[in-house]
Structure 1
Amino acid sequence: MLQQFFILCSGADKKLLEGCSDGEQTKFAGIGATVFFTAVMAFIAAAYALFTVFDSVYPAIAFGLVWGLLIFNLDRFIVSTIRKRDSFWSEFLQATPRIALAVIIAIVISKPLEIKIFQKEINTVLLKEKNAMALNNKKEVANYFKSDLDKNKASTDSLKSAIAKKEKEVNTLYETYIAEAEGTKGTFKLGKGPVFKEKIAKHNLALQELDTLRKNNLAKIADNEKKATALQADLDKKVTETQPIIDGFDGLMARINALDKLPRLPSLFIMLLFLAIETSPIIAKLLSPKGEYDFKQEDAEMAIKTNLQQNNYQRDLLRKTDAGIYDNVYAEIAEDRELHNYKKKKAIELLELQADSFSVKQKGVM
């Protein structure tokens, strides 16, 4: 039962193969098994590749099944259409396009499985890339808000600087009128004289200005701090909104690019393995000598070809014979005077009718 299924997979003619030896049937069963298991690997590879794209099992299985059947049909067609010839090079030339197609199929099948086999290494590469992308994203978002944050900080620093400058001025006036009272500076007279009163009045005025400035600037500083907090919140929100995009950077193309960044030798070996599996049925047919099945197939094709040539030859003879007969028949008819006179009579009648009709039309115009 299993052997018959694999023979069906090989694309061989079951009626021709039934009369062949067990060894010949085993050979084609092996070729069919290779075709079948290649299709199974194609199904697994395509299903995994689509799973990385859709993150859903059912669409991945459905597409993988379609892809596996397509590869199965292609491989079966490739193997079944190769004919054994007397020259190896003519066989190789015949199989060249099919080998090229097998190479393409092997590469397509192997790539998703390579991604699955090297999944841990690929995840490490993707993690590094995601971290780098996250840092770059934070820098770009920070640069986007940098001008507003810098303006807000400069305004706050300016307000604080104005308060500090006024405080320094008030402290200086305070030291001046204290020194005047102590007689250590100014008039160098101990006591609270007119100069002292003038200096303390300046201090008190500056102190009032300081209180007013401090009140106004502190209110502005509080507003700037609110703006800075809001800007920082917008910055953090922007980073948070874009982070899922970075976290989702693990699709099929990203994994293929990550695979290319790994050492190529292991990946090359896996691809060569699938290439050997995919081309093995073709290589087996090329290297194997003509078997009983091949001779029977060639005999059946030659019988059909000979029968076709005979039919074509008979049709050509029939056509030539019929043409000769009709030539003789019409030659004899041409010599018949009775038929000649009858046709002449009818032609004269037709000309008379045409002349009468033309005459009537001309009279109507006049």
Structure 2
Amino acid sequence: MLKNFFITCSGVDKNLIENCSNGEQNKYAGIGATVFFTAVMATIAGSYALFTVFDTIFASIFFGLIWGLLIFNLDRFIVSTIKKSDSKWKEFLQASPRILLAVIIAIVISKPLELKLFEKEINQVLLTEKNQMTLENKTQIAEQFTPEIASINSEIEDLKQEINTQEAKTNALYEIYIAEAEGRKGTKLLGKGPVYKEKRDKHDASLLALNNLKKENAEKIKNKEADIATLIENQKNYESKTQPIIANFDGLMARINALGKLPWLPSFFIFLLFLAIETSPIFAKLISPKGEYDFKLEDNESAIKTWVKQQVDQRNQLLQADIAVNKKVYEDIATEEEIYAYKQKMARDLMKLQADSFYKKQQKML
């Protein structure tokens, strides 16, 4: 039963192979087994690749089975369409497009399995890339908020500097009126005279202005610091919103790119393995000599071609004979007086009808 199943997978004519020797049947059973197990590996590879896309096991298995059946059908078609001939070069030319297709299929099958085999190494590469992307993302977001924060900090420094300037001015006025009272500067008269009072009033006015300025600027600084805190909070929120995008950066394309950054030699050998598996049925048919099945298939196809050619030739001969007979029949009819008299009578009646119709038309017009 298993042998019959693999023979069916090889795409041979069951009616012909059943009458062949056991060795011939085993050869095609081996080819069919290769086709079948290649499709099984394609199903596994396709399911894993689609799992990285859909992230659901049932959908991945369903579409993976469809992919495996597609590969099975392609491989079976490739193997079944290769015909043995007396010229090896002709056979190779016949198989070259199929070999190219087999190479493409081997690449498609091997890549998802490589992703699974090197999953840990790929995850390490993706982790490094995610960390780098996180740093770059924070830098880019910071570039959006930093100029505004720096501008507000500059305004806060200006407000503080304005207070310092007014405070220095007030301290200077304080020193002036104290020196006047002590007689060290100004009029150099000891005591609190009119000049002292004038300078004291200037200091008191400056001190009042300083206190008012401190109160106003403190309120402004508080508001601006609140604005900075809001901007920093917005920056963190924006980072938290974009981080899940980076965290989910592990899809099929990202894993393929990460695989490309790993050493190429292990992946290349895996590809060669699948290429050997995929092309083995083709090369098995190319290098094997003509077998019993090939002779029977060639005899069967030759008989059909001969029969079709005979049928076409017979139809051509029948057509030529029918044309010749028809030509002779109509030539004989053309010389008969009875036919001539009948057609003359019909033409005379037709001309009468035309004359009557013309007369009636002219009469209506008048």
Scaled to the shorter chain, the TM-score interval is over 0.9
Superposed displacement of residue 191, structure 1: 4.8
Superposed displacement of residue 178, structure 1: 4.1
Give the corresponding residue for 1:81.
81
Q: Cα deviations across residues 316-343 of structure 1 (Å, max 9, x unaligned)? A: 2222333333333333323332333233
Spell out the pairing of 1:1-366 with structure 2 (5 A cutoff).
1-186=1-186, 191-366=191-366
CA distance in 1, matches of 2:200, 2:321: 145
Given the superposition, is the C-alpha separation of residues 360 and 183 from structure 1 closer, same or farther in structure 2, using an over 3 Å criterion? closer
Q: Which residue identity does 2:44 align to in structure 1?
A: I
CA distance in 2, matches of 1:323, 1:180: 145
Point out the more displaced range, 328-337 or 140-149.
328-337
CA distance in 1, matches of 2:25, 2:269: 32
Superposed displacement of residue 59, structure 1: 1.9
Q: Which residue identity does 2:226 align to in structure 1?
A: K
Point out the more displaced range, 345-354 or 51-60.
345-354
CA distance in 1, matches of 2:30, 2:189: 123
CA distance in 1, matches of 2:159, 2:335: 130
In the alignment, structure 2 segments of 5+ residues that lack a partner are none
Superposed displacement of residue 280, structure 1: 1.2
CA distance in 2, matches of 1:197, 1:331: 152
Q: Which residue identity does 1:97 align to in structure 2?
A: P
CA distance in 1, matches of 2:61, 2:237: 38
Point out the more displaced range, 252-261 or 318-327.
318-327
Superposed displacement of residue 231, structure 1: 0.9
CA distance in 1, matches of 2:107, 2:316: 52
Point out the more displaced range, 14-23 or 315-324.
315-324
Q: Which residue identity does 1:299 align to in structure 2?
A: D
Given the superposition, is the C-alpha separation of residues 167 and 316 from structure 1 closer, same or farther in structure 2, using an over 3 Å criterion? same
Point out the more displaced range, 228-237 or 55-64.
55-64
CA distance in 1, matches of 2:183, 2:238: 64
Q: Cα deviations across residues 105-151 of structure 1 (Å, max 9, x unaligned)? A: 11112222222222222222222221121112111111111232122
Local SS of the residue matching 1:85: coil
Point out the more displaced range, 41-50 or 320-329.
320-329
Point out the more displaced range, 308-317 or 18-27.
308-317
Q: Cα deviations across residues 83-124 of structure 1 (Å, max 9, x unaligned)? A: 001101101111111111111111112222222222222222
Local SS of the residue matching 2:84: coil
CA RMSD of aligned residues (A): 2.0
Superposed displacement of residue 236, structure 1: 0.9
In the alignment, structure 1 segments of 5+ residues that lack a partner are none
Given the two structures, how large is their TM-score scaled by the length of structure 2? 0.93
CA distance in 1, matches of 2:340, 2:193: 164
Given the superposition, is the C-alpha separation of residues 204 and 361 from structure 1 closer, same or farther in structure 2, using an over 3 Å criterion? closer
CA distance in 2, matches of 1:74, 1:335: 67
Superposed displacement of residue 198, structure 1: 4.1
Given the superposition, is the C-alpha separation of residues 192 and 365 from structure 1 closer, same or farther in structure 2, using an over 3 Å criterion? closer
Q: Cα deviations across residues 197-247 of structure 1 (Å, max 9, x unaligned)? A: 444443333222221111111111111111111111111111111111111
CA distance in 1, matches of 2:208, 2:356: 135
CA distance in 1, matches of 2:123, 2:200: 75
Q: Which residue identity does 2:241 align to in structure 1?
A: E
CA distance in 1, matches of 2:203, 2:331: 146
Q: Which residue identity does 1:40 align to in structure 2?
A: V
Q: Percent identity?
A: 60
Point out the more displaced range, 74-83 or 119-128.
119-128
Local SS of the residue matching 2:83: coil
Point out the more displaced range, 115-124 or 344-353.
344-353
Q: Cα deviations across residues 32-82 of structure 1 (Å, max 9, x unaligned)? A: 111111111211222111211121222222221111111111111111111
Q: Which residue identity does 1:225 align to in structure 2?
A: E
CA distance in 2, matches of 1:209, 1:359: 126
Q: Which residue identity does 2:87 align to in structure 1?
A: S
Q: Which residue identity does 1:210 align to in structure 2?
A: L
Given the two structures, how large is their TM-score scaled by the length of structure 1? 0.93
Q: Which residue identity does 1:131 align to in structure 2?
A: N
